[in-house]
Amino acid sequence: MPEPVIELDAIGREFPADPPVRALSEVCLRVERSDYLAVVGPSGSGKSTLLNVLGLLDTPTSGSYRLDGVETTTLGDGARTRLRGSRIGFVFQSFHLLAHRSVVENVMLAELYGGQPRRGRRERALAALDRVGLGHRVGFRPDRLSGGERQRAAIARALLGEPSLLLCDEPTGNLDSRNTDAVLDLFDELRGQGLTIVVITHETEVSGRAARRARIVDGLLVEE
């Protein structure tokens, strides 16, 4: 049986204060390949801390986090960075596209820090844009795209390294309802292609489209 993409066992995260602030408490979670999970919760519930732990941007205080079977809590900074770059694609509420670069150039930038060979970079970026239905906009600047198209470009950039996990933080927060539907349809397609998706959101419409939903309150995660 293949390893799950995400396996959290009794994850805790405390921040120094007097008394200490416990942002995550004994969080357990298992996410299989091609799973689609939404994590919902109010402001201050621990959503952002959980996202940072899952994305290897922060280290838990206690517990075990295995990503694709690799125990991450014992890795040094360099190894964590390499694992993050090879296994996780990030999609944020803000698209983080460079205004003076074309769409395809923005997507190509994803490989600058990943150590991938330069040869074939443009072709890989074009393939990622085709995958998200944006092949007809490759030469456009971001300011000529709709909000939904900008998010599709950002998703293409996240897909460039063929990650096993797409980690999304309020991915439709800046979109109207029509563009939100288009992005959620794309997530359905990507999941159908075998990608694992975890979405952190406060929007009911977004969480309702996921195959699984978990709620986090006061650092405690409970699957619904």
Query: For 200-220, what is the mean pLDDT?
Result: 94
pLDDT at 169 over 70: yes
Per-residue pLDDT tens for 133-155? 999 999 999 999 999 999 999 99
User: Reduced to 3 states, what is the DSSP secondary structure of residue 213?
Assistant: strand
State the SS3 of 24-46: EEEEEEEECCCCEEEEECCCCCC
> Among 44, 57, 41, 22, which Cα is nearest to 167's?
57
Residue 190: which pLDDT band, with cuts at 50, 70 and 90? Answer: very high
Per-residue pLDDT tens for 46-64? 999 999 999 999 999 999 9
Q: In what order do the strands lie in the sheet with 165-169?
A: 88-91, 165-169, 196-201, 36-40, 212-217, 220-223
pLDDT score recorded for residue 70: 95
Domain boundaries, the chain: 6-97+161-223
* Entry pTM: 0.93
pLDDT score recorded for residue 114: 60
Contact in structure between 141 and 107 (CB atoms under 8 Å) = no
Instruction: Note the CATH architecture for domain 6-97+161-223.
Output: 3-Layer(aba) Sandwich (3.40)
pLDDT score recorded for residue 125: 94
pLDDT score recorded for residue 1: 73
Contact in structure between 153 and 146 (CB atoms under 8 Å) = no
